[in-house]
Chain A
Amino acid sequence: MAALALNLLIFLPLLAAVVVWTLPERRQALAPQLSLAVSLVGLALAALLLVGLPGLARDESGAALIGEARAEWIVVGERAAGGLRDGVILRYHVGLDALSAPLIALTALLVPLSVACSFTAVRHRVREYYAWLLVLTTGMLGVFAARDVLLFYIFFEFTLVPLYFLIGIWGGPERRYAASKFFLYTFAGSVITFAGLLYLGIRAAQIDGLSVIDFDLVRLSTLSLTQLSTTEQSLLFAALFCGFAIKVPLFPLHTWLPLAHTEAPTAGSVLLAAVLLKLGTYGFLRFSLPMVPHGALAWAQVMGVLAVLGIIWGALCCWVQRDVKKLVAYSSVSHLGFCMLGMFSLLPVGLSGSVLYMVNHGLSTGALFLVVGMIYERYHTRDLDQLGGLARQMPVLASFFVLFVLSSIGLPGLNGFVSEITVLLAAFNSDVLGPWYGVLGATGILLGAVYMLYAAGKVLFGPLKEPPGTPDLSAGLRRDLTGREIAILAPLAVLVVVLGVAPRLVTDPLDGALQSQILDRVHEARAASAIQHHPAYAAEVHPLPDGRGSEEWYTTALFIGPEPGEGGPP
């Protein structure tokens, strides 16, 4: 039953896309409604699936999935008596676990909102537009649900196509350049990631002594670490880095983002910022950390430095923007820096903070893009120097704008704060990173306030400034927000407050999974490398030769120290 729901969740939008695309011209007006209905069904299905999440968190083995569906899809090789021999197997394998659930929920929530925000904004080639939006939905949900690495990669790349068209057809004045740049930039990176994943799959087969190459997620993330050398893992990490870091985007690979976000139509920007950037962070969390933990450890400080640089660089760039949408876009660079910083602190609190950050960034930045889009629809400009004092004209919009700005700058009591403080606390206390990372990262909370209040102040406060001939209300808008627009923003506003007060709604189901699937792997690698590099220390800590090498022993050696009466330093 749950499996059906998950498959429907993923593929219903694709089916609907075909229907929407082929609607007869005179029924064109149905396209938005139909898309909205489908995406709302998707939201309901997602909610249905998430009900099982608390039960999942209680499951000790950590292997259970919600809505698991598994089938062999592409099989290359000889079939023999005992099954497959000498071949490659690609499975269609989907399911939700604690790590992917929050992102699925985020996606399922934001899709209806982005559909609804396009009702008045998109007025040409309407059917195609909604069809692409629905295709994109399938891609995004598929990425997070995939349990097979190749399937993940297929969905991962699949998201590029609809976005390419969404930006290229319905975008702003520089849409063509933006679309090509976005496509080539991210594609170039992810090809290298693909190579890395292929190599990992082949090596996995070698290590396990199997002749069949398969790309099962769990299998690849539980490989014996001793077999995969540290150098190999570092190189693999670098390969995976190329695709994921561009997607995140991590400094200095972020330069595709401001353009793509700015030129995309509002719905595109929302989904790009809220969901598609998370493909990168999710990739790091799901693949880089557990599959090549030695590599992750070797790279952790580099990642930390890049994250901190991104935080500061992005924030300072925000401050000098004249285009409010570009400003919000650049703020993503800064925010995702926080997210990566927390992840590579390699502490429980940092990891859960990082996942929470993904959700929170999706909510608040998505909401900011929505608000900016609503302003743009009325004034046809995003130039900070041409707008001003809108608060008096649009008090409702102003209230929402201020709320989301506050969420974005991490005001305590709202969602952004919790993830920000846990991430920084983790970076500060991490023994991989360290206090300076936390301190420099914390400048982001200062700079964030500077640029966000600068933007809000310019747009909302001061004497009224409107470009001549505006606001343009021809699409059936009102001066202030319409009921539809309020209905779009209100759920986000509620969540911003709720997750600020009760972040445990997200983090509680996560903690166990993060520990068992990711941190334990990393700790294992750390213990192993500690012993590799300091054999003398290892001998001191644990003189018994029999236990050496077992996972338990590594963990014990590093984190608990010698048991009483069992040797110890001379």
Chain B
Amino acid sequence: MIASATFSVLSPAAYATLPFWPLLGAVLAGVLIMLRARPQHAHWPVVLGVALSAALAVTLFVDLGQNAEVTGSTSVTESPSLSGRGQGEGESGDPTAALELGRRASSGFSHTLYGWISLGEKISLQNRQWLSVSFHFDGLTGMMLLFVTVVSLIIVVYSIGYMRDHHGVPERGYERFFAFLGLFVFSMCMLVMAGNFVLLYLGWELVGLCSYLLIGFDYHRPAAAAAAKKAFIVNRIGDFGFAVGIFALYYFLSGCAGPGENPLDYAVVFKYAPHLADADSGFLGMSQATLVSLLLLCGAVGKSAQFPLYVWLPDAMEGPTPVSALIHAATMVTAGIYMVARCTPIFELSAGALDVILTLGVIGAVLTATMALAQYDMKRILAYSTISQLAFMFVGLGCRVPDSAVFHVFTHAWFKALLFLGAGSVMHAMGGVIDVRRFSGLRHVLPWTCGTMWVGCLALAGFPLLAGFWSKDEIVHAAFERHVVVGVLMLATAGLTAYYTFRMFFLCFHGKPRWPEEAGHPHESPRVMLVPLVLLALGAVLAGYLGVRFAPGRDSFLGLFQPHGFFHSYLGHSTIGHPDHGHGGLGLMYLSGAVAVGGIVLAWVRYGAAPEVDPDRKLLGGLWNLWHAKYYVDELYDDLFVRPLRNFGRLLFATDNRGVDGVLWLITGVPRGLAFALHFMQRGVLKTYALSMVLGLVLLMLLWSWMA
């Protein structure tokens, strides 16, 4: 059932070591802490570990591609070959649909390391079922691993410079920082490579842990400690649903699994997923597929910071900037998108669940884009834009184009990491100040940062021919295909994105040069930070071209490019398959390009001179204040959920002390009352004793005579 395809370059066992090198690095860094060694070189184990897994990931990527080509060409009827996208549309037809589904369920293959948790024996079958530590390799894995490890490597290298002061002396906790980063890369790779749902959950929780540890890196600052806790707990709210979803999957499908099949393995779940489509779940009349999808979705909403659980992500910016770049922008927060894409065979069975995804995505995109318009903290603006972009990906998922969503994940990773690292570079130069009101005109002192940031902003804004344009455009197309209102909202959000991104850019880099006194004599960052910026900028320009085809002709964009290229066919060899993209036409591409340019121009008009008084604030007044206060959502949650629950806890505790123990006090009252009633008899007065003795004797004698 599972194709036992072999890799041509390295063995599966070698690829299976991929996640463990950064872990090893992290452990070695931990050992260095224990030895109290000088931290100057503590980054090396982690850098090398991540580099090794990046190398493995690149090899795996190539290897998987060749593999796909081989299977693609040998069984043309079953899977469309790499270049032929047209055949993918055949899945809408009924007879091929089943075939397509089966092919997707068995696409890729797994490698088991060992049986982790025994699920016991099925009495009738006498075979043991396992939750094993097993990895799943397919196009989606390869693609995710590629950018996760490579972007991680770039950011780890950047951190070497960032986590030092101006004299190159490592900050306090330098080794700890790198150990956590290594742990994070390990966890993220586990998440992506997991071959069953429980291992996915393991990676899922571990990345959450790393996020917790790294947000709270400066734990002595109350804001950082609080943000770390908030991130973990809000995520756990989603994870609660996710866990229940896994239980439900097991509940519905464990009966189907045959001998030798472990009921939570991807291959098994997706093979039997069609059983879920029409079966009633017994809960609110939902089908099993809908119920499972919605439960799994809870996890994605938490991890990918979607409405209504997005509140942790802006606060997460309390962590060091490389952490924001790596975890809270480029990789971890996309885990939710990855999971939904991975579970396409389940989600696509439920139109209802997809509509929920779509709705959450649209709400999230619009809501957070407006919030981003009214912030001054550079990292928070980027954080809101991250939520908004993730919401774009959700819209893509909801419109049944998971490959476009993953494509946006891919391009977004490059330019958002770039933007955050650029912000970090600014922060480094400004002595930790990140409020865009307090500096301007920095292009004169930070030319490299400014240049690379400019590329990143253009990519985020969706400026034609840069990475963000290609992927965002696909989602906008799908949105229009789904419903014109969704499409218009997405287009409008894209315009807002361009506007607020460049508002930030102009406020920061244009206008007259000034900076806060904390900055001292600001200067450009060291080379170890600039090289990563340049590499990411290259990625922000080029990453999009993986997803388009160079096809000169009248019906191509600018006469050169057609959407849906290598990226999509590569992903086709995974559980995603080849979704039907429809034919949006060229007009929309030009339109979305124009919207991006329009947003940038508008930002230039209003903020080009970096005015010290915010023109939008004057213009919009109350609405602006509402945006600035983030719609008071945090306060609302606090009043609605946190306080009542805590008060309920107080009530329970009081019940314990008064109620339950009160009942016990009553019970013990019986002997106590008895004792009280009888204690008159024993007061140490000899006369009473004598009396009672005589009375007792008389009583006994009477009793005796009566019995006789």
Contact = CB atoms under 8 A, between A and B. Distances in A.
Are A and B subunits of one complex? Answer: yes
Interface of A: 184-185, 252, 254-255, 258, 313, 316-321, 347-349, 352, 389, 391-392, 406, 411-413, 417-418, 421-422, 424-425, 428-429, 435, 438-439, 442-443, 445-446, 449-450, 453-454, 457, 460-464, 501-504, 507-508, 511, 515, 559-560
12 contacts: A185-B664, A316-B645, A317-B649, A317-B656, A347-B120, A352-B118, A413-B202, A425-B247, A442-B247, A453-B212, A453-B229, A453-B233
A438 B117 CA distance: 18
A389 B657 CA distance: 31
Contact of B649 (A319, A411, A422, A424): A319
Contacts of A258: 656
Interface in B373-430: none
B207 to A, nearest CB: 11
B232 A449 contact: yes
B552 interface: no
Contact of A255 (B119, B228, B664): B664
B219 A461 contact: yes
Nearest to B223: A462
A435 B247 contact: yes
A313 B657 CA distance: 13
Interface in B108-122: 115-121
Contact of B219 (A412, A425, A462): A462
B250 A411 contact: no
B402 to A, nearest CB: 26
B561 to A, nearest CB: 43
A439 B220 contact: no
Contacts of B446: none
B220 A421 contact: no
A332 to B, nearest CB: 14
Interface stretch (B162-170, B237-245, B537-545): B237-245
Contact of B118 (A252, A389, A413, A507): A507
A421 B117 contact: yes
B248 A317 contact: no
B297 to A, nearest CB: 16
B209 A406 contact: yes
Nearest to B283: A435
A258 B212 CA distance: 29
A544 to B, nearest CB: 20
Given A449-B233, A464-B220, A559-B123, 10 more contacts: A258-B656, A320-B649, A349-B119, A421-B117, A424-B243, A435-B247, A449-B236, A453-B229, A457-B226, A462-B219
Nearest to A316: B649
A252 B660 contact: yes
B171 to A, nearest CB: 14
B220 A255 contact: no
A560 B124 contact: yes
Interface string B97-138: 000000000000000000111111101100000000000000
Nearest to A429: B251
A187 B347 CA distance: 55
A392 B172 CA distance: 11
Contact of A450 (B118, B233, B254): B233
Nearest to A314: B652
Contact of B117 (A348, A418, A449, A559): A418
B653 to A, nearest CB: 5
Contact of A442 (B115, B228, B240, B660): B240
A320 B646 contact: yes
Contact of B652 (A317, A352, A417): A317
Given A255-B664, A313-B652, A504-B115, A421 B198 contact: yes
Report the contact-size class of chain B (Cβ under 8 Å from the partner). Answer: 35 or more
A446 B237 contact: yes
A485 to B, nearest CB: 15
B648 interface: yes
Contact of A348 (B121, B236, B254): B121
A92 to B, nearest CB: 35
Interface in B331-388: none
Q: Which of A252, A255, A313 has the most chain B CB atoms inside 10 A of its CB? A: A255
A255 B663 CA distance: 11
Given A428-B251, A442-B243, A348 B649 contact: no
Contacts of A457: 225-226, 228-229
Given A255-B656, A435-B251, A507-B118, A442 B244 contact: yes
Interface string B613-635: 00000000000000000000000
A504 B119 CA distance: 11
A445 B251 CA distance: 19
Given A412-B202, A461-B225, A559-B124, A392 B220 contact: yes
A548 B457 CA distance: 79
B198 to A, nearest CB: 7
A318 B21 CA distance: 39
Closest 8 CB pairs of A and B: A348-B120, A461-B225, A316-B649, A412-B202, A461-B219, A428-B247, A349-B120, A320-B649
Contact of A316 (B117, B226, B652, B664): B652
Interface in B625-681: 645-646, 648-650, 652-653, 656-657, 660-661, 664, 668
A461 B220 contact: yes
Contacts of B225: 457, 461-462
Contacts of B648: 316
B118 A424 contact: no
Given A252-B660, A413-B206, A349 B251 contact: no
Contact of B243 (A316, A422, A445, A449): A445
B295 to A, nearest CB: 10
B206 A443 contact: no
Contacts of A349: 118-120
Given A392-B220, A421-B198, A428-B251, A504 B661 contact: no
B201 interface: yes
A290 B650 CA distance: 39
Nearest to A504: B118
Contacts of A389: 219-220
Nearest to A412: B202
B45 interface: no
B49 interface: no
A443 B240 contact: yes
Contacts of A348: 120-121
Nearest to A356: B117
A464 B646 CA distance: 26
B520 interface: no
B244 A439 contact: yes
Given A442-B240, A462-B225, A320 B123 contact: no
A151 B463 CA distance: 81
A508 B247 contact: no
A255 B233 CA distance: 28
B653 A320 contact: yes
Contacts of A421: 117, 198, 201, 243
B216 interface: yes
B205 interface: yes
B582 interface: no
A465 to B, nearest CB: 11
Contacts of B239: 445-446
B219 A391 contact: yes
Contacts of B649: 316-320
B396 to A, nearest CB: 29
A167 B206 CA distance: 39
A411 B664 contact: no
Contacts of B240: 442-443, 445-446
Name the residue in B212, B232, B244 with the highest tally of chain A Cβ atoms < 10 Å from its Cβ: B244
Nearest to A409: B236
A450 to B, nearest CB: 6
B93 interface: no
Contact of A460 (B205, B206, B219, B645): B219
B86 interface: no
Given A435-B248, A463-B222, A319 B205 contact: no
Contacts of B222: 461-463
